[in-house]
Amino acid sequence: MATTYDRRAAGHRSAPPEPRGRRSPAGPVLALIGAGAIAVLALWWNDTPAIVGPAGWLIGAGRIAGLLTGYGCAVLVGLMARIPALERGAGSDRVARWHAMAGRYTISLLLAQIVLIITGYAVQASTSVVHETTTVVLNYPEMLKGTAGALILIAVGVVSARAIRRRVSYEFWYYLHVLTYLALFLAFGHQIALGADFAGHAAAQNAWYALYLGVTALVLWFRVLAPVRLNARHRLRVAATVREAPGVVSVLIQGRRLEELNAEPGQFLRWRFLTSGLWWTSSPYSLSAAQRPDRLRITVKAVVEPSAALAALRPGTRIWAEGPCADLGPQDSPQGAAARRRSGDHPAARAVRDPAGPAGRPDPAVPGTYIPVSGAAR
């Protein structure tokens, strides 16, 4: 069993204080999101000279809900773009909570928009809701694609509900979430073509294009191009696996120029092991030892199938990684605990690398770590 040991911190296990002058970007980010929502409401206000009758009120409320839904979708994608400054400054756990909360609001607004707009049009035309729904979906421009996008978003929202999320696999939940990008692509044309607040307003259209192109650029850079660059540079492979204890395994990872990762013990990367049965899942495992120029280490407890399969990895197995990111979050936070339960990176595995003191002999494979003698690890 191997455990890390910081010579400077013998007998003292508290986390180091934050550097002075370093402030979390949480406040400015939330203020920026709120300002954007106010700007969206101002767009509707300036383009609505008067509201007449029940149909006008229903359609007006539906337009507000629609604008906020479109804005919320862009915010959702931006929050999950894995922007390093945001995740390290505010914390991955906090950003995930923002994303989950924004998702609930966005799906609620989407459902409200559908009900309000269809009902308002039905009242205005003195027809049934069913007839008006058929007319809107089949005859209005871009509505077939918009409907498909809305159905995908609603499906993502339903599967993300806590009662259902517990009953589906992480992989199903994850890949359904990936379809969110397709949903936004399908729905964007509908927003521009039928959005009354965009018709004849070049400035509003340009701002909407800029918003969506901006979050698209963030996703392409941080979730596609940056990982491609990282893996092409470091060429990560499995060096060896070590059984630390029953159900606990360490994976030693070799690569090139690993010092350029600037990773620290406790930070996590998202690992995808390119072998049968594991290539389809990406799991967050935190580093269990200080990095070397040519080696990293993770330590995992086998609690679910992906983590249980790590013990069978063969040396030379290629790895696709993304990160490093800040810690998964506090042990007592729901998101941090859920991420650790799913991946195997939780207290039972962390005990392997949590120093109990200087007792133990140096691990020759990973300088700066120790193999504890009897009673040295808790």
pLDDT value of position 134: 94
Could you read off the pLDDT of 200-246 as tens digits, one per residue? 788 999 999 999 999 999 999 999 999 999 999 999 999 998 888 88
pLDDT digits (tens, 9 = 90+) for 242-283: 888 888 889 999 999 888 888 877 788 889 999 888 888 888
- Both structure tokens of 290: 């200080």
User: How many residues comprise the chain?
Assistant: 378
Average pLDDT, the chain: 80
The owner of tokens 């609505």 is 48
Pair of tokens at residue 294: 């040519």
Per the model's pLDDT, the better-predicted residue between 134 and 162 turns out to be 134
Give 11-62 as a 3 state SS string: CCCCCCCCCCCCCCCHHHHHHHHHHHHHHHHHHHHHCCCCCCHHHHHHHHHH
Whole-angstrom distance, CA of residue 62 vs CA of residue 111: 10
Sheet strand arrangement including 268-273: 283-286, 268-273, 319-325
Between the alpha carbon of residue 206 and those of residues 37, 75, 198, 199, the distances in Å are 17, 17, 9, 12
Q: Are 276 and 329 in contact (CB under 8 A)?
A: no
Beta pairing, strands 369-371 & 361-362: antiparallel
Report which of 338, 336, 264, 324 is spatially closest to residue 95, judged by C-alpha positions. Answer: 336
CA 40 and chain centroid, separation: 25
Per-position DSSP letters for 294-328, written without gaps between them: TEEEEEEE--SHHHHGGGGPPTT-BEEEEEEES--
User: pLDDT tens digits for 135-152?
Assistant: 999 999 889 999 999 999
Sheet strand arrangement including 369-371: 3-4, 369-371, 361-362
* Band of residue 303 on the pLDDT scale cut at 50, 70, 90: low
Please give the pLDDT value at position 368: 40
**If pLDDT is split at 50, 70 and 90, which confidence band does 363 have?**
very low
pLDDT value at 300 more than 70: yes
